[in-house]
Amino acid sequence: MATVLSVSGSPSASSRTGRLLHHLGRRLTAQGHQVIPLDVRTIPAEALLGADFRHPAVARATDLFARADGVLIGTPIYKASYSGVLKALLDLLPQYALTGKTVLPLATGGSTAHVLAIDYALRPVLQSMGAAHVLQGWFTLDKDITVGEDGSVTVAPATAEALEHVVDQFSAALDRVPALATAG
């Protein structure tokens, strides 16, 4: 099966975005994929903001993108756009770091007023980086993600059903990539 890089673009350690990605990563793992998490907030700020391409954490992130077959990328929406820490990382990656990869963009936010941020802010950047296929993204309201005292995640039923469908489409697209590569 495929190797999936699950990128959390949240600057918060207690992020609903990160927890949602972990939750969805378990579904992908159950489908046979290897899921590797990357929390952008763990990359030192001086490396991100100083554009230190040679910093070990940036080099590791670049290598993780290179090894992945697919990228599950999640971000909270701030001021109608994806997070600044995610932008900083994407700016440090090679121009075509997503070449040949299937990408599923996900976003979380407090209002449906931000639902188009995926298509108008994030999708163009992902496509410019050479992604083979950027699936239709999904926006989840913060209120639909509940974190238990034990750290467990519960997603509102209608949202959970929609997310399962989106993740299953991503999984199916990942399964088709090797077949497409050998057919050409």
Q: pLDDT of 41-73, one tens digit each?
A: 999 999 999 999 999 999 999 999 999 999 999
Instruction: Please provide the average confidence, as pLDDT, over all residues in the chain.
Output: 93
User: Which of helix, strand or coil describes residue 167?
Assistant: helix
Backbone angles phi, psi at 72, to 5 degrees: -100, 115
Q: What is the mean pLDDT of residues 67-85?
A: 96
Q: Which residues contact 55 (CB under 8 A, 6 or more apart)?
A: 43, 44, 47
Model pLDDT, residue 175? 84
Model pLDDT, residue 62? 98
Backbone angles phi, psi at 40, to 5 degrees: -60, -30
CA-based nearest residue to 76, from 85, 67, 68: 85
Query: 184: pLDDT confidence band, cut at 50, 70 and 90?
Result: very low
CA-based nearest residue to 174, from 22, 26, 33: 33
Length of the chain: 184
All structural domains of the chain with their residue ranges:
3-183
User: Which of helix, strand or coil describes residue 80?
Assistant: coil
Q: What share of the chain is helix, strand, coil (3-state, %, to 5)?
A: 50, 25, 25
When the candidates are 3.40.50.360, 3.40.50.10490, 3.40.50.150, 3.40.1280.10, the CATH number that belongs to 3-183 is: 3.40.50.360
In this structure, the dihedral spanned by the alpha carbons of residues 39, 154, 120 and 2, taken in order and rounded to 10 degrees, is 60
Model pLDDT, residue 42? 96
User: Which of helix, strand or coil describes residue 154?
Assistant: strand
Residue % of the chain over a pLDDT of 90: 89
Cβ–Cβ under 8 Å, residues 73 and 7: yes
The answer, as to whether pTM is greater than 0.75, is: yes
Model pLDDT, residue 182? 39
